[in-house]
Amino acid sequence: MKAVLVTGSTGGIGTATVGLLRSRGFTVYAGARGPAGFGPEVRVLPLDVADPESVAAAAKRVAGEVDGLWAVVNNAGVIVQGPLELVPADEWRRQLEVNTIGPASVVREFLPLLRAGGGRIVNVSAATGRVAMPLMGALSASKAGLEALSNALRLELAPWRIPVVVIEPGTTETEIFHRAGAAADAALQRADRQQVELYRAHLEAYAKAMSRFKPGPVDKVAEVIVRAVEARRPKRRYAVAEARTLGAILPKLPAGLRDRVLSSAVGLNGITP
């Protein structure tokens, strides 16, 4: 049976992907930082992608149980949101540690198993990896970094024929936005009152714009990830239907027009100091 690792399996897209992979007959390692509610048919693997020792220990355990891996799905992710002046440095670091450095550590430690198993790397990015969003600078930087890493790795690992795939989900119904909102509120509580007031209009416009987004179901994203895992010759990039509009059209617009469209989409145009 082919073995696949999914990181961040205790959340929306990760949990759905683990379930679908299992139903397709894969041996699934479900990377989890905390308790995971899977049955005995799933191999829960303690894994904090931001902790190099945890990543190394996870790779050691898997190497003791299987001869090789068919895929590593770098799914674990967080959103750190807010204007730069209101995002503390430790939150910026957390963003990059989980979304960018984490996948790099996971790939580094699991590459021997991927080589042995004729495996592939599937990195879950976001439209923000191609189009930076205002008030989401940290997230955009982290996903752009993941995209750059994916593009470099694809060439680096070509001699071993290890495909590197990027998945671009659309806005999806998971806990990620609530968690991001709670972390941002906590950061605002710690921030300087006057600085917060400077951005009051930004924050209100952004909240209003976000409330208009209609998130899609996790199953659609899991299906796309599993398609990338199963494809005989996987494509470089798989965009989930809704992501195609934002992710595919915006990068092609002239920069000035793109800035205006984005600013207006997030409700920022017209704001004056």
Ligand X SMILES: NC(=O)c1ccc[n+]([C@@H]2O[C@H](COP(=O)([O-])OP(=O)(O)OC[C@H]3O[C@@H](n4cnc5c(N)ncnc54)[C@H](OP(=O)(O)O)[C@@H]3O)[C@@H](O)[C@H]2O)c1
From 2, 33, 120, 202, residue interacting with ligand X (rule: CB under 6 A): 33
Which residues inside 158-187 make contact with ligand X, applying CB under 6 A? 169, 171-172, 174-176, 179
Residue 23's Cβ-count burial label (10 Å; 0-12, 13-18, 19+) is exposed
Residue 71's Cβ-count burial label (10 Å; 0-12, 13-18, 19+) is buried
For the window 193-232, what string marks contact with ligand X as x by the rule CB under 6 A? ----------------------x-----------------
User: Smaller CB distance to ligand X: residue 59 or 199?
Assistant: 59
Which residues inside 73-132 make contact with ligand X, applying CB under 6 A? 75-78, 98, 124, 126
Least distance (Å) from ligand X to the CB of residue 10?
4
Q: Judged by CB under 6 A, does residue 55 bind ligand X?
A: no
Quick one: which segment of 42-50, 59-67, 108-116, 130-138 binds ligand X (CB under 6 A)? 42-50
Least distance (Å) from ligand X to the CB of residue 57?
13
Q: Cα dist. 118→24, 72, 113, 158, 193 in Å?
A: 18, 11, 9, 12, 54
Least distance (Å) from ligand X to the CB of residue 6?
9
Contacts of 131 (CB under 8 A, 6+ apart): 140, 246, 247, 250, 251, 258, 262
Give DSSP secondary structure letters for 63-81: HHH-S--SEEEE-------
Element (H, E) at 44: strand 43-46
Q: Name the residues that contact ligand X, by CB under 6 A.
A: 7-14, 33-34, 47-50, 75-78, 98, 124, 126, 169, 171-172, 174-176, 179, 215
